[in-house]
Structure 1
């Protein structure tokens, strides 16, 4: 069995994530390759696509949302994602057990004593009536039916237990703000098509196999634990065992078994990796249980200080080297360690390319401060 180094895994991940070289593929194709883009805040998927696609513009993604070819909803790991509409129809039923597990957590269970899940879903769908309501209005109507129970928590549980799609304005560029303004619509009404079903064990297994193939195409080679950490499903060893004849196997740096698509090519580990700026919650940082292929454990603590926080980062030689933030019109770079003159120049160039996309005017990096493309005294 071939052993892959950490550098080989890093270059494979960057290549499949379109971070080793930008692609000319369409945003729809790229979102499909990545399966879904985490979208807890609406602007970040735009930045993620900018870092991966030549000449990407805001309107390209906004148009996909308007045309209902891409949707925003709860998906992987019970968090908000953007996904191609047809992928969402197929994957959400498979992942529903993960969202149900979240909906059954103490936070929700304490609030809905005496109200079973099926009744909550039926009530919520009745209130929506196949149309659209803001989360705030939905919560108000649920609270009216159940005095003494927090309607906001009921609405949150309802959104986990049945597929609802967010309105276009919620996912469009610049839609930062109050989550209560999010509007939700039953997915089947929004898409005009029924959701797929995972009604039998055989159907569920087939869908899980497809999900594993899709994951490997965008994140492989990887271990079974990596797949499970990425999607939230468990007991995938049994599914992978049925796929042995179609998968290639490697040994990882720690000796653990890694799987990959049989026809997937691996780039040369010595391939140069360009500087890239990644958004908060980027796929490349969240796609594995063992994330050391792209971020060290020490830096992971800086970038992910809390369970619900993943800061924007920048890559140097394929690994996280620092974080960044947009404060007003200034993009501030925070290196975690010294940069060589060459890497600093490359980072500065890439950052100044990003500035107009995010509406910034200035770059600040340590002692380096630039204004309008010229050194500031």
Structure 2
């Protein structure tokens, strides 16, 4: 193991294997879903199904009803946190992470200040809180309620103000596998019966430092800029410097300083990495400033179309293609390059496993096909 003062260079494959190990993608972990959600610091959840597929790629024996049960029992929740996007978090993280990412919410709200002229934000916060805590509300209902008090304000700005000022969660059945539900919101404190984590909550240096360590355990080795991209935060250098004596320090092939937790896994670069099917917006592909540890430079942008992400295939640990699952349970895999027969067989086997576990497919020949996902 490297000493805490070493600046050994980690090449791209070494970074890839280290990150996959932290992300539970080198081998499926024997871990409860709740523990995995906590370890991963949440699951990107812009859409309802991706968190379930993220856990299937990472956990042995995972079935959708495990996470659905956690949603219904309020042990995990959906809310806006990192990068101003919806994540599925444990109840404990929902209460503690939201204040840590309040600064970006304040900056976001600043973009709407012209539409909020004459609006008392403290009063708006109180009114919105009382309204959503009386019963969960849709964003449209929140907007209409606030317009009663500020009819000359810009309607969207009022909605944004409520979302940015309050720690709002999406209540079930939204987010529960196999169930439909309109997005209805209340405060995290009201939903969990705990102490609300408001915009006014004090954020201590110790809290930020703890988040740095947890980020490194889930995504490291990483640079300061990597974590800032993941969290949507700035000015994290101070925390890394406080922690420097406790961390291992490396450099990547471009000379960028990388930090890591000393006892975190850093497998050999030649460690086998099995194929994995990841859903759209998986945090593996979104949580570093330099994504070449997973996305080869020549494939940059291939997993996106506009502001929408495709479902992605990892082969030998790196982005190698896209996939689509249709309503009939047919899985189409589009490879970016050539694959050996052995690699295709491994991809098909992993796809069959996903069909059986997640899509209710019966498996068997023909369930997985190789071709264009747009065909």
The answer for the alignment partner of 1:15 in structure 2 is: 21
Q: Select 2:123's aligned residue among 119, 122, 145.
A: 119
Flag the 1:354–1:200 CA change in 2: closer, same or farther, 3 A.
Answer: closer
Offset at 1:58? Answer: 1.1
Q: Select 2:174's aligned residue among 138, 153, 170.
A: 170
Q: Equivalent residue of 1:334, what SS?
A: strand
The answer for the alignment partner of 1:184 in structure 2 is: 185
Moved more, 279-288 or 330-339: 330-339
Q: Is the 8 A contact 1:198 1:204 kept in 2?
A: no
CA distance in 2, matches of 1:248, 1:318: 24
Flag the 1:159–1:70 CA change in 2: closer, same or farther, 3 A.
Answer: same
CA distance in 2, matches of 1:218, 1:321: 22
Q: Is the 8 A contact 2:216 2:261 kept in 1?
A: yes
The answer for the alignment partner of 1:323 in structure 2 is: 322
Aligned ranges 1:293-312 → 2 under 5 Å: 293-306=293-306, 308-312=307-311
The answer for the alignment partner of 2:234 in structure 1 is: 234
The answer for the alignment partner of 1:39 in structure 2 is: 45
Q: Is the 8 A contact 2:119 2:153 kept in 1?
A: no
Compute the TM-score of the two structures, normalised by the length of structure 1: 0.90
Q: Equivalent residue of 2:115, what SS?
A: coil
Deviations 1:122-144 (A, max 9, x none): 22113224431122322222233
CA distance in 2, matches of 1:314, 1:146: 49
CA distance in 1, matches of 2:102, 2:327: 39
Q: Is the 8 A contact 2:48 2:175 kept in 1?
A: yes
CA distance in 2, matches of 1:317, 1:299: 15
Q: Select 1:104's aligned residue among 106, 110, 116.
A: 110
Flag the 1:296–1:176 CA change in 2: closer, same or farther, 3 A.
Answer: farther
Structure 1 vs Structure 2 CA RMSD: 2.2
The answer for the alignment partner of 1:373 in structure 2 is: none
Q: Is the 8 A contact 2:333 2:372 kept in 1?
A: no
Q: Equivalent residue of 1:133, what SS?
A: coil
Moved more, 279-288 or 157-166: 157-166
Deviations 1:154-193 (A, max 9, x none): 223311221011112111124578xxx2111111111111
CA distance in 1, matches of 2:195, 2:266: 38
Offset at 1:197? Answer: 7.5
Deviations 1:226-283 (A, max 9, x none): 0100001111111111111111100112111100012223111111000000011101
Flag the 1:325–1:112 CA change in 2: closer, same or farther, 3 A.
Answer: farther
CA distance in 2, matches of 1:278, 1:323: 9
Offset at 1:56? Answer: 0.7
CA distance in 2, matches of 1:41, 1:25: 24
Mark the runs of 5 or more structure 2 residues left unpaired by the alignment.
Answer: 1-6
Offset at 1:98? Answer: 1.4
Offset at 1:116? Answer: 4.0
Deviations 1:46-98 (A, max 9, x none): 00001111111111001111111111100011110011111111111111111
Aligned ranges 1:59-208 → 2 under 5 Å: 59-105=65-111, 108-174=112-178, 181-195=182-196, 203-208=203-208
Moved more, 55-64 or 138-147: 138-147
Q: Is the 8 A contact 1:90 1:197 kept in 2?
A: no
Q: Is the 8 A contact 1:71 1:85 kept in 2?
A: yes
The answer for the alignment partner of 1:52 in structure 2 is: 58
Q: Is the 8 A contact 1:11 1:269 kept in 2?
A: yes
Compute the TM-score of the two structures, normalised by the length of structure 2: 0.90
